Every structure is written in structure tokens, then in C-alpha cells.
Chains A and B, each alone.
Chain A
Amino acid sequence: DAMVIQNPRYQVTQFGKPVTLSCSQTLNHNVMYWYQQKSSQAPKLLFHYYDKDFNNEADTPDNFQSRRPNTSFCFLDIRSPGLGDAAMYLCATSRDGYLAGDPYNEQFFGPGTRLTVL
């Protein structure tokens, strides 16, 4: 089945130690998103790629970076994780992000990676 895959499902890192989370998709979608979801909170959009074009949210800290080497893969890099960065990180895809009413604009989410910072 076509899907959005996130690895690993659980990641433990140390305070200040860089960490990379990965997302892959078999849907061949143009747009890939990264969300941060802290405990008992709603998902918060960090940034997204429309093809190779990177779009950062204004309030996303510089500590968070992303790479999209090809259509299928997207990475979230946290350069110096702090205790406040412990969260679930969700990757999502959509075929086209700019046609809000287009049914292809539905976002498909992966299962998430739960990050623990020690």
C-alpha cells in the first residue's frame, strides 16, 4: 500500500546532540510537511517542501532544519536538541498544497517519531 513511513518510531538523544528524523513516501506527492506535536497539544507546522522549494514557518526555531534530497524522502534535522524539543514529530504529504479545495490536497500523515531528549 502507498504510504508515509517514518523511521525510527522512537528516538532518544542527548541534550545538544544533533539528531535526524526521516520520512519517506510512496505516494509520489509534491508536498511534504513536518509537524511538531507536544504532549496533549495540537500538531504545529514547522515547515514544508513544495517539490524542492522550502517554506519555513515564521516561528520555527533556527535549530530545526530540513532536507529533501528527492521526491520520496524528507529529513528533519535538530541541530542542538533541548529538553523542550521532546515531542512527536509528524511527517505528512499532499499531492498539491496550493489548491485548498482540490481533493488531492488531502494530507496523509505518517505514524510519527517520538523524540526523547535526555
Chain B
Amino acid sequence: DAKTTQPPSMDCAEGRAANLPCNHSTISGNEYVYWYRQIHSQGPQYIIHGLKNNETNEMASLIITEDRKSSTLILPHATLRDTAVYYCIVRPYGGTMRFGAGTRLTVKP
């Protein structure tokens, strides 16, 4: 499985966009990029996933570089409730999810 690298922590001002990077330089052609987040003392929550095209939903946008070696999760208007650990996961076709260390995002007033 492709390994992901994320910064251990980031801060963001409330109301501003939060841009969370992820490197997955060994990703293969049939592997998808998934993002989950885990708010303190809760189970992880699905955010978004993509293969090669940029994706957007009501929670976030996912930007995947053309070579697919990195991606960025964008929370357009971060709120205090977005404070969480964000996990970038590369998931092979037919495979299970393996979480990396994630990025602890702190949204500050």
C-alpha cells in the first residue's frame, strides 16, 4: 500500500480556509485518496475521496495533483468545530483502509 506523509499539526484562523497537504508519492494507478477526520473522543468521519479529478462536496474540496503524488484537502471556511485530526489515506482497489499519523488541525478564534 502507498504510504502517506502529512504534517503533524497545523493551525488555522476561524473563517479562513484550511489547506491540509498530503504526499503519496508511491501511489499506484488504481489507488484512491480518502480523507477522514476524527474529532476528539469520537469515531472517524468520512470527508471526501477521489482518484485523479478534483472533488467537492458539502464538507470540503479535494485537489489532486496531475501526477497524483500529492493532494490537498480544503475546508473553505474553517470553524471551531473543524478542530480534529485529519487522516489522508491511500486505498488500493479491493483493499482495506490503513490510517497514517494524520494532521492535528486546530482552528483558533
Contact = CB atoms under 8 A, between A and B. Distances in A.
Real complex partners, A and B?
Answer: yes
A48 B101 CA distance: 21
Given A100-B32, A101-B32, A101-B49, A92 B93 contact: no
A90 interface: yes
A32 B95 CA distance: 14
Chain A residues touching B, majority SS: loop
Given A100-B91, A101-B51, A109 B98 contact: no
B43 A90 contact: yes
Interface residues of B, number: 26
Contacts of A55: 96
A104 to B, nearest CB: 11
A42 interface: yes
B38 to A, nearest CB: 8
Interface of B is mostly: loop
A106 B46 contact: yes
B44 A90 contact: yes
Given A101-B32, A110-B43, A42 B92 contact: no
Given A90-B44, A101-B32, A101-B49, A107 B87 contact: no
14 contacts: A4-B43, A42-B99, A42-B102, A43-B38, A43-B99, A45-B97, A97-B96, A99-B94, A100-B93, A100-B94, A106-B49, A108-B46, A109-B44, A111-B43
Interface of A: 4, 33, 42-45, 48, 55, 90, 92, 97-101, 106-112
Given A48-B96, A112-B42, 4 more contacts: A43-B99, A44-B99, A100-B91, A107-B46
